[in-house]
């Protein structure tokens, strides 16, 4: 970190502070990302009434999507199905 040398003279202490601050920042970002990805009121998961969107698949190797998809693949040796 280029801000530490004027404040902390020892290189060992600077490395320790840099590692500690970097680890703390990474933990905060990871926790925030987890909150963002799992929040209940995520607009993409809701229909117009505020209820969660649902999609049902029926049949062997079927897939369900809650919105428009351009390309779908159903698994082993599958053929991509584009925009039907």
pLDDT in 10s for each residue of the chain, 84 residues: 567 777 787 888 888 888 999 999 999 999 999 988 887 765 555 556 666 666 777 777 777 776 667 777 666 666 666 655
Q: What is the pLDDT of residue 57?
A: 75
pTM of the model: 0.45
Phi-psi category of residue 77: left, alpha or beta, with phi > 0 → left and psi -120 to 50 → alpha:
left
In angstroms, the CA 76 to CA 15 distance is 49
């Amino acid at each position: 970190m280029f801000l530490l040398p004027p404040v902390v003279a020892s290189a060992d202490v600077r490395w320790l502070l840099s590692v500690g601050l970097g680890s703390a920042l990474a933990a905060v970002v990871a926790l925030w990302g987890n909150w963002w990805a799992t929040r209940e009121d995520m607009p993409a998961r809701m229909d117009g009434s505020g209820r969660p969107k649902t999609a049902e698949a029926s049949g062997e190797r079927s897939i369900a999507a809650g919105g428009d998809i351009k390309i779908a693949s159903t698994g082993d040796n599958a053929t991509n199905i584009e925009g039907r």
